[in-house]
Structure 1
Amino acid sequence: MLRIIDARTGELTDAARARRSLVRVHARAGGYDTTGLRVLLVADVLVRALELGGTPVWATLSCSADRAELRSGAATLGIRPFEEHHEAGTGPGEAQTIHVLGPDCTTVGDGTTEGAAPGDVRVEVAPVEPGDSPVDPSVLRLALLAHRRDEPVRLDAATLADAGDTLARWRGAVAGWATRPSRPVPEDVRQRLRAAWEDDLDVPAVLRVLRWVETSDVPDGARFETYAYADRLLGLELTREIGASL
């Protein structure tokens, strides 16, 4: 089961209080900038992780400014749509709300999240220093996912070049592996992937597992299935180039 650090206490807590009980993931973004997009990206990956574990999720968004631009930018990054947040009502059968917040979102005097109920979980997202040049959305997504959510990210040329090279290499490799006889994801690899994302949504650890698989003696067909499985969490379209050269 996914466990996540509650920023209020610094302690790991179950993301869902009961298996298959509804969890609301509520993204709170200050506006349309790269930090706001990172907040939605963290929330998107959290939703994906919960759903992979069989937990139903209700994803909502509140934004203090530039709502339409933020939604458009999020869609470009492959972030699935969030419902509009309404203060009244909590949703049928909801057991817990996880608030995903950027550094500029509102807290009250005791440091708790404004509008949060007792027992809610707070997940904090560090700021992003954007670069000067336009970035391919998939490259930006990988560059942000390569850092823990509580680490500030500087999108300099080296960071973006590394993400771009990695994404191109992986997509090309996946397209090649797809031509080989299919093999299931090795159980030990599946367990390593799940252990990574279920431990405080450690996406960089998931990426490290994929790097290991890339250079290991895992059969090509199993490598393909492993990358396709992990991409259900990552949302990087790693299978996009399959058949592109035909």
Structure 2
Amino acid sequence: MLRIFDDRTGEPVPAAPARRGLTRIEAYASGLDPTALRVLLTADLLVRALELGGTPVWTILTSPHQHAELRAAATALAIRPFEDGRDLASGLGESQAIHVTADPTATVGEGPVMRVAPVHWQTDGQGQQQGQGQWHGEGQGAQTAGRDAGPASAPAPGRTSASRSHPALPALLEDPEAVRLALLSVPRGEPVRLDAAVLDAAAGRLAQWRRAVAGWARRPSRPVPEPVRVRLRSAWEDDLDLPGVLDVLRDVARDPELPDGARFETFAYVDRLLALDLARELGSLG
């Protein structure tokens, strides 16, 4: 059973309700910045983990402004779409709400609160950082206070409205899967520092794993070894310990006793949660 640390009570609690029903995940973003992206990613991982456990989920994005930009950035990061309104969930048997936020002063409704630590974006080679890594546009700074900006239209094809508002954002979203992996590599309660070196290292790890997965796919398939499956689920069901999940993948890739077919199935299985497109290179090897 997935358990999360509830910042409201200071105790671990079940993420899925005791009475099986719809769980609403509400992500709170005060503006478009790297920390907001981490909030949206955390909500996405929670959604994926709950769905893997058979719990139906409803997701809402609450923000006072830049709603369309946040949605565009979320799409680039392979984050599942947010619904357009919170009222519909009440008619579907909602039994619990979980709130994901980085703002310690945000006003949220009843239910567990998952707090996300800030992301610091290093802008140059001399250690200079912008605030808490936040890129503030005009009019930013208002708290969410539970306000939902409602539905927003998507940007025109080939253009990301987020990049127009924040010239630095394309640097982060140039390789969104590397950003995703870099954020997954740090416990959500710890601050993250992102810079070119960190993203290059994440991109290199992704390329290495994708080449390996493509090679393993050429061997006969084997099931995910039960001890590996247990380690994986124990990690992500322990407050979404994604660094722990990545450690298991590293061990699987290095274990000389595991058949290649089992490695492939393990990486394919975990990618349902990580959404790193680990099978991208299938068929590319001669």
TM-score, structure 1 as length reference? 0.91
SS in 2 for 1:83: coil
The alpha carbon displacement at 1:224 in A equals 0.2
Deviations 1:161-208 (A, max 9, x none): 221111111011000000010000001100110000001110110000
Judge conservation of contact 1:59–1:82 (CA < 8 Å) in 2: yes
Deviates more, 1:149-158 or 1:5-14: 149-158
SS in 2 for 1:64: coil
Distance (whole Å) between structure 2 residues aligned to residue 87 and residue 150 of structure 1:
30
TM-score, structure 2 as length reference? 0.79
Matching residue within 156, 160, 164 for 2:203: 164
Give 2:59's aligned residue: 59
Judge conservation of contact 1:45–1:233 (CA < 8 Å) in 2: yes
1:189 partnered with 2:228: yes
1:237 partnered with 2:277: yes
Query: How many aligned residue pairs are there?
Result: 237
Matching residue within 183, 207, 223 for 1:144: 183
Give 1:25's aligned residue: 25
Distance (whole Å) between structure 2 residues aligned to residue 64 and residue 85 of structure 1:
14
Distance (whole Å) between structure 2 residues aligned to residue 88 and residue 53 of structure 1:
23
- Distance change >3 Å, CA 243–CA 89, structure 1 → 2: closer
SS in 2 for 1:209: helix
Give 2:126's aligned residue: none
Aligned amino acid, residue 13 of structure 2: T
Give 1:46's aligned residue: 46
List alignment gaps of at least 5 residues for structure 2: 124-167
Supply the RMSD in Å over aligned alpha carbons: 1.7
Distance (whole Å) between structure 2 residues aligned to residue 89 and residue 141 of structure 1:
28
Judge conservation of contact 1:193–1:209 (CA < 8 Å) in 2: yes
Give 2:158's aligned residue: none
Distance (whole Å) between structure 2 residues aligned to residue 90 and residue 28 of structure 1:
19
Give 1:221's aligned residue: 261
1:37 partnered with 2:34: no
List alignment gaps of at least 5 residues for structure 1: 108-113
Aligned amino acid, residue 161 of structure 1: D
- Distance change >3 Å, CA 137–CA 88, structure 1 → 2: closer
Aligned amino acid, residue 119 of structure 2: V
Deviates more, 1:129-138 or 1:213-222: 129-138
The alpha carbon displacement at 1:17 in A equals 1.9
- Distance change >3 Å, CA 227–CA 89, structure 1 → 2: closer
Judge conservation of contact 2:215–2:285 (CA < 8 Å) in 1: no
SS in 1 for 2:92: coil
Aligned amino acid, residue 261 of structure 2: G
4+ residue segments displaced more than 6 Å: none
Aligned amino acid, residue 282 of structure 2: I
The alpha carbon displacement at 1:91 in A equals 4.3
Give 1:99's aligned residue: 99
Aligned amino acid, residue 244 of structure 1: S
Larger radius of gyration: 2
Distance (whole Å) between structure 2 residues aligned to residue 202 and residue 65 of structure 1:
31
> Identity of aligned pairs, percent?
59
